[in-house]
A and B are shown apart, each in its own frame.
Chain A
């Protein structure tokens, strides 16, 4: 799992490359936490994320909670078919701001 960061205006886009599972989630969470200190608008781009297990969902939930508490904003985009199904099963599609594409995610992100 690699995390690639890109800045667009006041938004930080984090690309998760690989699989977000029990083995990779702890380090991914540590990486994400570093960015949380100085960014208030964060987008997780899952275009290159092969799969997400519950350990990965924990990273999504933790990030969403921290940003909400600090008045920040959080979006997820580009989930593949199976990852979208996992977001639906877990109820995360209802509690997180999930967009189909990066283009949608960067639009009106206020």
Chain B
């Protein structure tokens, strides 16, 4: 049985400025519950990648929306963060992986953000739930 010890919900608007507010809120949570600094920094990077993607691609109508962020820390040291938005169906993990072996002159940055998410986290998932995008990430040993 996995017990949940701490949780926090943050709601942000779909702007890049609000992404920073989510990162700051997570930092507060991380220091409150003594999540190791290197893990906190990795989660910050991943929040920046995933939330900025949602802000840029999920709402092509340009209207104001809310993005829900749920942070859960379990007794096992597992951290689960779930991002929920009511934008158009958008699976960030379907982005093609970049070729990281090509020389400097020809390198592009596209797709690198999702590669960072996949490598820095211990788990990730996406599901379309009726009209919602639900994107999750998991980090162990927190």
Which A residues are within 8 Å of any B CB, using their own CB?
A: 19, 21-23, 50-55, 57-58, 61, 64-65, 68, 80-82, 85-86, 89-91, 94-96
Contacts and interface: CB of A to CB of B under 8 A. Distances in A.
Interface stretch (B6-14, B64-72, B76-84, B106-114): B106-114
Contacts of A90: 100, 112, 115-116
A40 to B, nearest CB: 17
B2 interface: no
| 8 cross-chain pairs, A with B, having the tightest CB-CB distances, nearest first | A91-B100, A54-B113, A22-B52, A53-B48, A58-B109, A21-B48, A54-B112, A95-B104
Contacts of A65: 104-105
B120 A23 contact: no
Contacts, number: 75
Given A22-B48, A53-B116, A91-B100, A82 B107 contact: no
A53 B115 contact: no
B41 A54 contact: no
Contact of A23 (B16, B105, B112): B16
Contacts of A21: 19-20, 23, 44-45, 48, 52
Nearest to B110: A54
Contacts of A64: 104
B4 interface: no
A19 B26 CA distance: 15
B119 A55 contact: no
Interface residues of B, number: 26
Given A21-B23, A94-B100, 16 more contacts: A21-B19, A21-B44, A21-B45, A22-B48, A23-B17, A23-B48, A51-B41, A51-B45, A54-B49, A54-B112, A54-B113, A82-B41, A82-B42, A86-B45, A89-B116, A89-B120
Contacts of B115: 89-90
A104 B34 CA distance: 34
B24 to A, nearest CB: 10
B104 A54 contact: no
A53 B113 contact: yes
The CB with the most chain B CB atoms within 10 A, among A54, A61, A80, A96, is that of A54
Nearest to A69: B105
Given A21-B48, A54-B116, A86-B116, A61 B109 contact: yes
A28 B75 CA distance: 40
B103 interface: yes
